[in-house]
A and B are shown apart, each in its own frame.
Chain A
Amino acid sequence: MMKKPCGTFDETYAQDMSYIRTPHRAGLLVVLFVLVFGVFPFVASDYLLGIMNLIGITIIAMLGLNLLTGYCGQISIGHVAFVAVGAYTTGILSNHLGWPFWATLPSAIIVTGLMGLIVGLPALRIKGFYIAISTLAFHYIIVWVILHGGELTKGVWGLPCDSIELLGISFDTEIRMYYVIMVLTVLATVLSFNLVRTKFGRGFIAVRDNDIAAEFMGLNIFRLKALAFIICSMYAGAAGCLLAHYVGMLTVEQFPLIDSIWYLGFLIVGGTGSITGAVFGAFAFRIVAQIVLFLAPIIGEMLPAVSLSSVAGFTQMLFGTVIILFLVLEPRGLNHRWQIMLSSFRLWPFPY
């Protein structure tokens, strides 16, 4: 529910449903658009662009998880496994068959979507902790398959993957990759925004709030849950495809179980059940990771007893603490604060 200043009325249904409802918002979006596509890539260093690229990929993956967990209420702690499926599909198609990007992206999305359907099948009968554990099981199975895939996945040696080539241009620098990733990120975000307003999106919310009540109201919750799993894994597949092309070398270590935990945790930090929340979560995830990289040498100097390898331990503790603090102090996440800020800005100078 959007709080609007006095005197702003919706006169048509189209107005009531539109996203851009105030001139300020339209202006903000234009500014954001220019910043993302016009200014940032030209002023930022390669390092910053690299971070933004990772954030973009994380946003796509996080949006999928948000649809499944935030909107449909099905908890998945195997999200990274889906990303891995997308990445390895891309890697296999690109490396063994030499498929270009415009072919690998849809194939990765479709294959991962099918995988999501398979994992989602038990979810049609079970809920809550049982689903969480079955996705965990899926993670272990995928890791095992990748490690024992022989020539197909190249196991522990790693699978090389070509960079994107479209229209004769090779997207092999950070800035070129930035454009590919950002365009897809914006598309994914817009798609997500619209998806949750469709019949299915509303159905997801109904299933999350009370699946039995949803079933009584005539919703086909089996289909909805399966759909949520498919869409979630399709997003993950797209993220995995981009990651494969971006990184250029796939190993199993890039997809640890712990990342699934961070995805889920930082979804809460951002705010579950809202698209902006997922975007905030992705930013928070990568920014905290950068802060750790920045702090690690300082800690190493302050405490020489703590060896370099245990910086990983410090990272884990910091991430975990951030998530627990958010859960306890602000369970609605950054998005909630952002909305409060926005509405007070809109209503200023009045408090209501």
Chain B
Amino acid sequence: MEFFSQLFVSGFLTGSVYALMALGIVVIYKASSVFNFAHGSIVAFTAYLIWYWVVDLHLNPLICIGLTLLVVATVAFLVQRFILYPLTGQPILAAIVATLALSEVVAGLVTLLWPGPARTYPSFLPTGNMEVGGIIIGVGEGVNFLICTVAFVAFMLFFQKSKLGLTMRGTAEDHQLARSEGVKVNWIFVLAWFIAIVLAGIGGFLMAFMHGVNQEPLIALGMKSLAVVILGGMESILGAVIGGIAIGVLEALGAGYLDPLLGGGVEEVFPFIILLVVLLIKPYGLFGYERIERV
């Protein structure tokens, strides 16, 4: 039982980062009905970018944040204006392939700009472990969890209270209605991409801080956040949270209990097997809207 709760808690903490990254995908999907397969590459890109500012150029952290936001805004604008806007009205396949291709372009850019072995951030957080009720928690993981929660609450407040957030939610409901109210829908899409990349950046930074700045695992993380979104249901922010934590916990449990039996690497596939099973039972994820269509 102690083993179980240990696995559960550490999975829970990791899952919070997944949830944050998944939120980014949900934001884009709700706003513009585009499922962003490039999330993984963008996670890696932002993690490398922050590493570049901080370690390579020795910039002040505040300037780093400003510069990163600037780059992120530019990327969001370019992607929306030059890739996704021309694809409006094309079948769903076009958007999927576009984001897949974008994902490879970004991944290629990362390989081109920062080749070679993994990087590490300087440690500015306390390391070590603490014990809470017999369960050992890494301090870094705990801090990650706190940062994720804060970021989550901040974005929730943004969507619930601020005028811009409400505009975004309105746009997600109906593009034409929003447009007739004077909302610049294309700029809302850009904003959605901006928010998504910022979320990806926070998630990527936290994960890279724990495990090193390395392209492959970071992209795999993004892929896992796709699974999280599908598990939770694509339209649901609550689904993203629950899906993220569920995947984190299942992964930890799979690694803990099944690895000795099946010989390693189970945590890579276990979430996907669960995903397939859930899709068989609930085709729209746990909290997704059921599709109601007319011909």
Q: Is A347 an interface residue (CB 8 A)?
A: no
Q: A313-B110, A314-B108, A324-B101 are in contact. Are A137 and B115 (CB under 8 A)?
A: no
| Closest chain B CB from A263 CB (angstroms) | 10
Residues in A199-226 with C-beta less than 8 Å from chain B:
210, 212-213, 216
Whether the pair B94, A307 counts as a contact (CB closer than 8 A) is no
How many residues on A have C-beta within 8 angstroms of the other chain's C-beta atoms? Answer: 52
**A310, closest chain B residue (CB):** B115
| Closest chain B CB from A254 CB (angstroms) | 17
CA distance A139 to B32 in the complex (A): 27
Q: Tell me the dominant secondary structure on chain A's binding face.
A: helix
Q: Is A130 an interface residue (CB 8 A)?
A: yes
Binds B, one of A31-39, A90-98, A120-128, A182-190: A120-128
Q: Is B125 an interface residue (CB 8 A)?
A: no
Whether the pair A272, B265 counts as a contact (CB closer than 8 A) is no
CA distance A216 to B294 in the complex (A): 11
Looking at A268, A310, A324, the one whose CB has the most chain B CB atoms below 10 A away is A324
Whether the pair B283, A212 counts as a contact (CB closer than 8 A) is no
CA distance A320 to B285 in the complex (A): 30
Whether the pair A210, B93 counts as a contact (CB closer than 8 A) is no
CA distance A132 to B96 in the complex (A): 9
Whether the pair B116, A316 counts as a contact (CB closer than 8 A) is no
Q: Is B82 an interface residue (CB 8 A)?
A: yes
Residues in B277-291 with C-beta less than 8 Å from chain A:
279-280, 283-285, 291
Q: Is A319 an interface residue (CB 8 A)?
A: yes
Whether the pair A327, B98 counts as a contact (CB closer than 8 A) is yes
Residues in B93-125 with C-beta less than 8 Å from chain A:
93-94, 96-98, 100-105, 107-112, 115-116
Whether the pair A130, B107 counts as a contact (CB closer than 8 A) is no
Whether the pair A126, B284 counts as a contact (CB closer than 8 A) is yes
Q: A129-B230, A140-B268, A216-B295 are in contact. Are A317 and B115 (CB under 8 A)?
A: no
Q: A122-B280, A130-B279, A212-B295 are in contact. Are A144 and B101 (CB under 8 A)?
A: no
Chain A residues near B101: list those with CB within 8 A.
Answer: 261, 265, 319-321, 323-324, 327
Q: A75-B92, A134-B279, A327-B98 are in contact. Are A140 and B115 (CB under 8 A)?
A: no
Whether the pair A316, B115 counts as a contact (CB closer than 8 A) is no
Q: Is B262 an interface residue (CB 8 A)?
A: yes
Residues in B196-254 with C-beta less than 8 Å from chain A:
223, 226-227, 230, 234
Chain A residues near B280: list those with CB within 8 A.
Answer: 121-122, 125
Chain A residues near B153: list those with CB within 8 A.
Answer: none
Chain B residues near A312: list those with CB within 8 A.
Answer: 108, 111
Q: Is A61 an interface residue (CB 8 A)?
A: no
CA distance A310 to B103 in the complex (A): 16
Whether the pair A140, B93 counts as a contact (CB closer than 8 A) is no
Q: A129-B230, A213-B295, A264-B97 are in contact. Are A314 and B272 (CB under 8 A)?
A: no
CA distance A317 to B90 in the complex (A): 23
CA distance A68 to B128 in the complex (A): 52
Chain B residues near A73: list those with CB within 8 A.
Answer: 91, 93
Whether the pair B109, A144 counts as a contact (CB closer than 8 A) is no
Whether the pair B223, A136 counts as a contact (CB closer than 8 A) is yes
Residues in A140-171 with C-beta less than 8 Å from chain B:
140-141, 144, 147-148
| Closest chain A CB from B254 CB (angstroms) | 11
List B residues at the A interface (Cβ < 8 Å): 35, 82-83, 86-87, 90-94, 96-98, 100-105, 107-112, 115-116, 223, 226-227, 230, 234, 262-266, 268-269, 272-273, 275-276, 279-280, 283-285, 291, 293, 295
With A130-B279, A313-B112, A320-B108 known, 10 other A-B pairs at CB within 8 A are: A77-B100, A127-B291, A133-B230, A137-B276, A144-B266, A148-B265, A210-B295, A261-B100, A265-B101, A327-B97
**A to B CB contacts below 8 Å, 12 in the list:** A73-B91, A129-B35, A129-B96, A130-B284, A148-B263, A313-B110, A313-B111, A313-B112, A313-B115, A314-B108, A319-B104, A331-B87
